[in-house]
Structure 1
Amino acid sequence: MNSPTPLNKYSFVLRMLHWASALIIVSLLILGFYMADIAPDASNKYDLYPLHQAFGMILLLLILFRLPVRIKGVHPKPAPHLKQWEHTLAQLVHILLYLAMISMTLSGYLMNSTYEYSQGIKMFGLFTVPDITPKSEYWSNIFHSIHSFFAWSFILLLIAHLAGVFKHRILDGKEHDVLQRML
């Protein structure tokens, strides 16, 4: 089979946003779970939070930029070898991934904003993203639960997403490789 033409790929901008988002999300998930496992009384417990928060805000901006590019942009036609249920499942997983990304980043911002000791999110010493809500331990805990729920949901959806890529690349054969559309 011939190598994919640009018409068989997502736009360059969307591909760059996809991979930048993927790199940041995986890093944030690893960092977030690491931070959650640090003992509450550890001296370095809160050293990584500013980094996690700043990259979370960058991710939120990337997603808010990426969403209209995805909706309005030119995409390749659905892969012709996909069965209808595979196409429907792929669309559902993509929608849920976007929902999880938006929910995870917004709940993280709101969790930080409602946290009693927060004074905004410091963006690498350049500026501070201000808190937007009153302080509330109750709401901070609620947003923490939402943030955790969507982090775990994202992981499950990512597994489904990668399983689909693996299936089409390895099990269906190189001629059905959907990964090439995003490279």
Structure 2
Amino acid sequence: MSDTEDGRIERYPPALRLLHWVRALLVLGLIAAGWTMTRMSDAQVARYGDLYPWHKSFGLLVLMIVLVQLAIRARARLPEPPAALPRHEAMLSRVVHRTMYALLVVVPVMGYSMSSTYTHSDGVPFFGLPVPELLPKNDHWFAVFQWLHRVLAYTLLGLVALHVGGALKHRFLDRDRRADVLPRMW
């Protein structure tokens, strides 16, 4: 199952490509929703009645998608970095990708932990279904998880910007067209 006659894999498997783009849209939506809802006043009903439950549900969905992606990646043959990439860029790409995957697991877990420990939380829903809260209620730990969720989400946003910027650089600025990584994910 290779894309070239010499056995090299040129594109990611279709399932990974689809999950990548679905997850990308969800993460950007979650960051926008998180930013919006934390700036709303407590008096606005939509903050707790709509945005928080949807944010929690979609955050858990992203976690599930990432776990599926990691399982597929562990079993699939994946493309190597383009030979035209300078060594330092290939290494930076590897570090950014691994860190993004780690944060795509840790950020939702911190969000779950934050909601689970908050003494006034109405639970962690997954599209209307209650998810068991495994951590004891403790507002001190809530504050720690809240801080970690926020800081790590912004860190993830920075890495996403670097990831997108790198893909666009390779697509439009690199002289060697073989450095273009975007067709691998289409």
Normalized against structure 1, the TM-score is what?
0.91
Is 1:115–2:118 an aligned residue pair?
Answer: yes
The one-letter code of the counterpart of 2:29 is: S
Aligned residues: 179
Say what the alpha-carbon RMSD is for the aligned residues.
Answer: 1.6
The one-letter code of the counterpart of 2:174 is: D
The one-letter code of the counterpart of 1:43 is: V
The one-letter code of the counterpart of 2:126 is: M
SS at match of 1:44: helix
Residue 43 of structure 1 aligns with which residue? 45
Query: In the TM superposition, what whole-angstrom CA distance separates every residue of 1:53-76 from its partner, at most 9, and x where no partner exists?
Result: 011111111111111222332111
Match of 1:21 among 20, 23, 37: 23
The one-letter code of the counterpart of 1:37 is: R
The one-letter code of the counterpart of 1:130 is: P
Using the aligned pairs only, state the percent identity.
35
Match of 1:93 among 85, 91, 96: 96
Q: In structure 1, list runs of 5 or more residues that go unmatched.
A: none
Contact 1:122–1:128 under 8 Å retained in 2: yes
The one-letter code of the counterpart of 1:27 is: G
Residue 150 of structure 1 aligns with which residue? 152
Q: Identify if the C-alpha distance between structure 1 residues 77 and 43 changes in structure 2 by more than 3 Å, giving closer, same or farther.
A: closer
Contact 1:119–1:130 under 8 Å retained in 2: no
CA distance in 2, matches of 1:7, 1:40: 51
Normalized against structure 2, the TM-score is what?
0.90
Residue 69 of structure 1 aligns with which residue? 72
Residue 11 of structure 1 aligns with which residue? 13
Residue 164 of structure 2 aligns with which residue? 162
Q: In structure 2, list runs of 5 or more residues that go unmatched.
A: none
